[in-house]
């Protein structure tokens, strides 16, 4: 019994608050990543992408407010020039998917790989820590990054659009919250699972990070070329193209505006959004499967 004796009587010391075992693992992953200059540089790029799309959304709605009292033809001309909020949100999710991958290549590349290299599994599982808690801790640490760079900013863009939109458009924008956040969350899940899953297969953070970025870029380029060369089934192998297809489908993006051509975020998409959704779920499952396999193997070896 942990008591503290005083001049008069005694009182029992307060018990420390229980902490979920996975949180220190996630916090350690983020703290170590924050010390690297590459992490800050990647976040700066993500902030730049958010800023550009924020200016785009505000410019759209300011222009529509200005032309609200004009003829419908003027408003339609404005849509062709600056686009709609649907298009800006779809472009943001597609572009930010790649920039967030760059940050995760630094943050999550060593999530499992460095633990393997230094033999930290024996230290982790020497304490009362389950395999599920360890895996969830790593996934939480990596998942906070796309939540902060992809999901959260997408919600801010939608909230700003709904707040400053003219009354005639505000009702149309309210429903955008669900598809915008759903597509951003789906992209965050794919990035988190694949980055941590690849880290579970490697043994050095730098190697894993380089392979992750190079693989994502090469896979996107090769599958894009094959899909546009008469082999459309290869387009479903690219997570970036699959996400772009699902985003355009959920947000019901129409024709590309002039502004969207300046901000490249909407190349051709796959013909079947359900197939693209299944492709994204397959990539997420593959990443989680690699993580589960590695943890199971290391625990048995230990």
Domain contains 148: yes
Q: Is 278 left (phi over 0), alpha (psi -120 to 50) or beta?
A: alpha
User: Once rounded to an integer, what is the mean pLDDT over residues 92-97?
Assistant: 94
Q: 52 pLDDT exceeds 80?
A: yes
Domain contains 68: yes
Task: Tell me which residue range forms the domain holding 129.
Answer: 26-301
Nearest 10 degrees: Cα torsion 178, 188, 86, 89: 130
Q: Tally the domains of the chain.
A: 1
Q: How big, in percent rounded to 5, are the helix, strand and coil portions of the chain?
A: 75, 0, 20
Give buried/exposed letters for 196-228 (b at 16+ CB in 10 A, else e). Answer: bbbbbbbeebeebbeebbeebeebbeebbebbe
**pLDDT tens-digit readout, 6-35:** 455 556 666 667 778 889 999 999 999 999
Closest CA to 266 of 224, 229, 219: 224
Domain contains 241: yes
Domain contains 132: yes
Domain contains 165: yes
Domain contains 187: yes
Domain contains 10: no
Domain contains 9: no
**pLDDT tens-digit readout, 210-225:** 999 999 999 999 998 9
């Amino acid at each position: 019994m942990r008591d503290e004796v005083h001049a008069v009587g005694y009182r029992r010391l307060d018990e420390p608050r229980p902490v979920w075992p996975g949180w220190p693992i996630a916090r350690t992953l983020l703290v170590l990543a924050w010390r690297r200059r590459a992490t800050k540089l990647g976040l700066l790029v993500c902030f730049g992408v958010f800023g550009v799309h924020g200016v785009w959304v505000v410019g759209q709605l300011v222009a529509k407010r200005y032309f609200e009292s004009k003829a419908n033809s003027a408003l339609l001309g404005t849509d062709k020039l600056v686009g709609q909020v649907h298009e800006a949100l779809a472009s943001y999710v597609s572009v930010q998917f790649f920039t967030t991958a760059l940050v995760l290549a630094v943050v999550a590349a060593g999530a499992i790989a460095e633990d393997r290299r230094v033999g930290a599994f024996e230290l982790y599982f020497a304490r009362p820590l389950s395999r599920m808690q360890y895996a969830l801790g790593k996934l939480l640490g990596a998942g906070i990054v796309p939540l902060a760079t992809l999901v959260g900013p997408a919600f801010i863009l939608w909230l700003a659009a709904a707040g400053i939109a003219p009354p005639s458009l505000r009702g149309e924008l309210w429903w955008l919250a669900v598809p915008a956040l759903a597509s951003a969350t789906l992209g965050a899940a794919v990035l988190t699972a694949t980055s941590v899953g690849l880290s579970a297969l490697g043994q050095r953070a730098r190697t894993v990070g380089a392979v992750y970025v190079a693989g994502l870029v090469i896979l996107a380029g090769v599958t894009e070329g094959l899909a546009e060369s008469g082999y459309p089934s290869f387009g479903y192998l690219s997570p970036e193209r699959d996400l772009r297809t699902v985003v355009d489908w959920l947000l019901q993006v129409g024709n590309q505006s002039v502004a969207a051509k300046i901000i490249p975020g909407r190349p051709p998409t796959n013909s079947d959004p359900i197939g693209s959704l299944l492709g994204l779920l397959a990539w997420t499952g593959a990443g989680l499967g690699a993580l589960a396999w590695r943890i199971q193997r290391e625990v048995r070896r230990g």
